[in-house]
Each structure stands twice: as C-alpha cells, then as structure tokens.
Chain A
Amino acid sequence: MGTQVSNAAAGPERSPFLQSHFTEMVQQFDAAKIGMWLFLVTEVLLFGGLFVGYGIMHASHPEAFKAAHHHLDRTMGALNTIVLLVSSFTMVMAVWSASVNKKKLVVLFLVLTILLAGAFLVVKYFEYSHKFHDGLLPGKFYTHQGDTVPGQFLFFSFYFMMTGLHGIHVLAGMIALTWLLRRALRGDFGAGYYGPVDLVGLYWHLVDMIWIYLFPLMYLIS
C-alpha cells in the first residue's frame, strides 16, 4: 500500500488533481500537509489562550470553580469523550481505506464519522439545555439561585466559551466531512490521491484532542 502517490506524478500524465504551480503530487501533498499542520498550530494557540485564561481564573477562584463544576454531568461528558474518540478512529480508518484504494470503505467510514460527530452535538445539546434551564449561564446571564460559594458564573463563562468554540469546530468539521463524502461518492479518492481526506482527518483529530483536555478540566476537577 501507499506506493502509488509518487508513481502517479512521475508518469508522463499529470494527475488531474495536480495544481499547475506544483511539479509533482508529492510536492503538492507535502505543501498541503505543512499548511494544515501550521493551521493546527494556530488552532492550538487559539484554544490555548482560553486554556491559559481558564487556568489563571481557576487558580484565583478555586473554590468557585470546584463548586460550579459539580453542576456538570460527568456521565454525559465521558460519553461524549468516547463518542469523539471512536469518531477519530473511524476518521483514521477512512484515510487508511483511501490509501489502500478501498473506495467503498472510505464512504462508509466517512458516514460513520459524520454520524458520531452528530451524536456528539446531540449530547451537547442536552447538556446545554439543562444548563439553560437552571440558569447556569456565563457572566451576567447567570441566574442560578442558592449558591453557597460566590463567583461560580466565572466557571460557566469558561465552560460555555470553551465548549462553544469547540462545538463550532465540530460543526465546521461536519461540513468538511460532508464535502469529503460528496467527493468520495464521486470516486475521487484512491491510492493516488487522498490528500483532502488526510487533511480533514488531521483537523478532526485535533478537535478530538482539544476535547480530551476539555473533559478533565471541566468535568473532573474536584
């Protein structure tokens, strides 16, 4: 497996997917991959700012954060963690399927990944609606009654900003995955060309990775 990439470019015919300013597929792949990783670095730093803010606010108001996190549902959080982990697995399987030219499997795994991403958002929706109902909202919208520890709204400010930004990324990932699915159904991806699947995969794993950190920081800080 996986030997076809360079062959496809070295031959006399240019791949229809090779852009004119590149000379061979490997060069195009490498460039795209570097670009994607650089983009992932910017994502890490974007979320990183929130993590740093969270860390500093947590350190200055530990009691409030501890008290507030008890409002979260650990089971839901753990369930969502596993959903995302499995979706990462199906994603990497889609990449693998493309690289060994199993075009039908690519479609199957992409569909599974999209479904799991949807499941994640559904669980998140139930969690959010519960918080909305209890008035556990960020900043000045916080209306929960009967707190014994002040300042719990700070926790929910970060909870909603961080999981919200993450949720937007999940949504963006679903759009990208749907685009991939359309192209996979058309039969674009095979051993000679599967860069887009790989790149969206990288993005999807990063989204997963961010959740891996969000989960303990939000749900497990007692």
Chain B
Amino acid sequence: MENVSSATLHGSGHAAHHGDYLEDPKGLRSWLTTVDHKRIGIMYMWSVIFFMVVGGLLALLLRLELLTPKQTLITAEMYNRVFTLHGAVMVFLVIIPGIPAALGNFALPLLLGAKDVAFPRLNLFSYYLYVTGALMALCTLLLGGVDTGWTFYTPYSTTTGGGVTLMVLAAFVLGFSSIFTGVNFIATVHTLRAPGMGWFEMPLFCWSMYATALIQILATPVLGITLLLLVMERVMGVGIFDPQLGGDPVLFQHFFWFYSHPAVYIMILPAMAVISEVIPTFSKKTIFGYKAIAFSSIAIALLGFLVWAHHMFTAGMSLFAGAIFSFLTFFIAIPSAIKVFNWIATMWRGSISLRAPMIYAISFLLMFTIGGLTGLFLASLATDVHLHDTYFVVAHFHYVMAGSNLVALLAGIHYWWPKMFGRMYNDKLASVGAALVFLGFNATFLPQFVMGSRGMPRRYYNYLPEFQGLHIASTIGSWILASGLFLGLAVLIASLMKPKEQLARNPWGGRTLEWETASPPTTHNFDEPIALRHGPYDYRPVEEIEASEGVTR
C-alpha cells in the first residue's frame, strides 16, 4: 500500500520530508489554524490544565470555607455559586474532554499508525466549540453566577436568577464539541488502522476510546435536547418540567441522567484506556486478558445506559423503576472488576519500574477500587435512602471522577510527555508529586465517607459542630493534594525550559506504535510506511520478535 503523501489536506503539493510537528510550520497562526491531531491535542491539553487549575482553586476555596461550621470566608450565596462553578468547570471543561480530547487526540492516531484522525477539520472545529463553551461558562460570572449545582435540577433551575441560561447553553455547546470528538474517533478506528492491524491488534487504549466515543455519540445529544428544553422552560414556560403547568420535574432528572450517567463512563473509560497502556509498559509484561479488557470496555459503555435512574432513588420515582435500576446497577461492577483483576494480573511477576506514570497508575487502581466499591452501597435501594445527598456520595464520585480520571489523566500526560515535547522531566520530583497527590486525595476524601455515613448532607454551607474535626482533616488533605498537583505541573513546565535534547524514540520501552517514531513525531507521524512486526504488548526481546514470522501478540 502506498504511503507516500503527495498532497496536503488542502490539496497543494508538499515535500515528503517533514520536520518536528511542534516547529513545522512555526508561528501562532499556524497553531490556531492547525488540523494536525497532535497540535489540537496539545492545545486541548493546555486548556484542560488551565481549567483544572481554575476548578482546583475553586475547590480549595470551598474546602477553606468549610474549615469552620459558620461563615469562614465567603457568604452562603457565594458558596452556592462557587460549588456550582467548580462542578461545571471540572465536569464539562476538565474531566469529559480531558483524556479523550487531549491525550486521545494526540495518541489515538499514533497508536493506530495513522497520519491523522479521519476528519481533521472537524477536530479543529470541536476545539473551537470547546473554547466557545468555556468562555460562555466563565461569562456566567458576569451575570451573577449560577447557584443550581452542575446538575441544573428543575424546578429550582427554572426559577432562580443569574446566568443559568448561559451556563446551560455553554454545556450544550460543549456537548457538541464532545460529540464531534466521538464521531472522529469512531471513524478513525474503523478506517485508519495501520495496514495489517486487525481489531485485536489494536492497543487497548483504542478499544476504550472507541467505547467512550460510542457513549459520546449515543448519550450527548439527549443532554443537548434536555438543556434546550430547560432553556425553553426558562424563557417561555413550555411546561414540560414545571409541575405547576402540568409538567414533571422528575422527567428532567430522567433526561439529564440518561446522558449524565453514561457520561460517568465517558469519564472513566478513557482513564482505563491510559492505565491499560501504562501498566504493561512499566511492568514489561504482556497485558493479561487482552480480550477481556477490550470487551469489558464495550460492556461498560452499553451497560452504562441501563442504570441512570440510580441517581433518582429518592426523587419520587416509582419503586418499581427503582428496583429495576438498582438491580441493573450491580451488573456494572462486573466488567469494572474484570479490568482491575486483569491489570493486577499484568503486574503480577512483571518487572515493575516505579516511574511517575506508574505511580499514578497504581494510585488509580487503589482509588478506582475504593470508588467502585462504595458505589455498590449507593446502588442498593435501602442504603441509598440513607446515604443519598450526603458527603458519602460526594466522596464516592470524587474517587471515581478525580481520584481515577484525573489521576489517569496525569498518568497519561507523564507517560506521553517525552513523546509530545521531546523532553524528559525530572522523574524523581514528578514521583514525589504523584505520591503527594495520592496522599492528599485520600486525606481529603476518606473523611468525607465517614461524615456522609453519619449524615453530613452535601452542598451545605453550615454544619453541626461535631463534624468539624473531619472537615478540618479534609481541608488539610486538599492542601496536600494541591501541593502535589502544583509540584507535578511545575516539574513538567520546568522540563520545557530545558534545551531540547536528542531524546530516544522510546524512553519507556513501550511496544505500541507511537514509540516507533521520533520524539516529538514529525508532522505526518511516521516517516516510513508502517510494517506491523509485533502486537502492542509483545515484550519479548527484539531479536526474538524479528526471528519469528508474522504478527504475534
């Protein structure tokens, strides 16, 4: 198959040789109009990091406020706005686009041996939608902020003032950004795999991204229409969610969670994608149970659609529906557990090197397990009635969304950093950062499980004095967490200050295709046509692979 390019995307002729993608072509304009998936991924990454800092600072403010039972720093109204903005920024601007749009855009085509994603211009468009949505979300501050919580529950959200309409429209725009990323990934996986790469020769990252994209496409449009209905309700009083007009506020929750529960898997599947790459690389061992991991990704994506109403057990839903959704929710635990077992089995008797990405990956395993298992408490109807809307829920979903997703994002950034920028960071300091993140995270959220099970309600500004000890512990934890994150960020940025060295193509000894091109890659990713010599997790010595015939796994 001929792989020589004779035309760029715009049809003009171009020399076959390309430079480093970071510098060819140069200039801000070439970045802002780029259709190169790597550059778009990098732009996404910096945007996500920026919003992670914004959301993180808001979180620090919240924790600081909760240091004392009464007012510490900000008023109650301000508190409501801050936690809403923290939630909206972290969910819509950091976690959902984080791994798929930043790392996925950068790594997916490289892992597949493709030159780009299937629709490069759509990809750039999706980035600008993201920027637009982000600006809209921040503009709500000028309108007095939003105090509904990131879930926008009716009827409060249809009656309260402030910038709810703008925030909802921002989420709508961001939803379409996410949909276009999903469309791109599915088409890319189907049509742009390297010659000879069958579905089961794909790295597991691609399987998980594919599963993520399925959810993005099947669930996000429903969020879009839900948010539009909410806007219509606010603007025109259409009546669908307003009980005074004959509507049904619980219906809003059905609509919202039909997207937002699968969205939890938009958050966790990409995290699993990164972990499935990092663990074999740093264990120097073939992944255990390739097909089990691959199919469990798809199973999670599909089962994720059947469980949404477990967020609504106490919302006035019928008991019949509650029983069905509770029953189905337990099934999600199965594919998740399969994955965890397989990762642990991969590490078993591997030669593990504890570099920064691996430390993050191991933290992921621990925190995802805690997050997953506490989910079972919430899935059972009876215990959920007690735990619903308490700090137990807060701690549970932070273990999954922050403890798992953000930690995996950091693992991925540290893992692909040398490939992205051709520079190695100080691994010792980065490892200290990773350890601090782990410690700080647990110090922040373990006390919240205890508080929640004792009845501390979420989103409360004041609390009973007996909770103060645990709140103080949690707040101190948030400082440790923040210091770990800022240390990690500083280490990464410091590496960019160093002059560029001639970095090895494959600093970690990975076996997937991205390690077979230069660090950083050239504009078209691979200079030579790709000949697939071994599977993605084939850690036999190179001589042995070359001696054997055909593709083996």
Contacts and interface: CB of A to CB of B under 8 A. Distances in A.
Nearest to A45: B221
Contacts, number: 143
Given A31-B191, A35-B187, A139-B232, A45 B237 contact: no
Given A34-B190, A53-B255, A157-B232, A16 B11 contact: yes
A47 B226 CA distance: 10
B114 A21 contact: yes
Query: 6 nearest interchain CB pairs?
Result: A49-B225, A157-B238, A139-B237, A140-B237, A21-B115, A45-B221
Interface stretch (A55-63, A102-110, A209-217): A55-63
B28 interface: no
Interface residues of A, number: 45
B232 A20 contact: no
Nearest to A53: B240
A157 B114 contact: no
A20 B122 CA distance: 15
A83 B93 CA distance: 43
Contact of A16 (B7, B182, B186, B229): B7
Interface residues of B, number: 53
B184 interface: yes
Contacts of A46: 221-222, 224-225
A43 interface: yes
Given A21-B192, A49-B226, A154-B247, 9 more contacts: A21-B116, A21-B118, A35-B118, A35-B187, A60-B248, A139-B236, A154-B239, A161-B232, A161-B238
A151 B11 CA distance: 58
A186 B127 CA distance: 31
Interface of A: 14, 16-23, 27, 30-32, 34-35, 38-39, 41-50, 52-53, 56-57, 60-61, 64, 138-141, 151, 153-154, 157-158, 161, 165
27 contacts: A16-B7, A20-B7, A20-B116, A21-B115, A30-B190, A31-B190, A31-B191, A32-B118, A32-B119, A34-B186, A34-B191, A35-B118, A38-B187, A44-B221, A45-B221, A49-B221, A49-B226, A50-B225, A56-B251, A138-B232, A138-B236, A139-B233, A153-B245, A154-B246, A154-B247, A157-B238, A165-B228
Contact of B7 (A14, A35, A57, A139): A14
A189 to B, nearest CB: 16
B120 A21 contact: yes
A27 B191 contact: yes
A31 B118 contact: yes
A47 B222 CA distance: 8
A30 B221 contact: no
B246 A60 contact: yes
B1 interface: yes
Contacts of B240: 53, 57, 154, 157-158
Contacts of A153: 239, 245
B239 A20 contact: no
Nearest to B119: A35
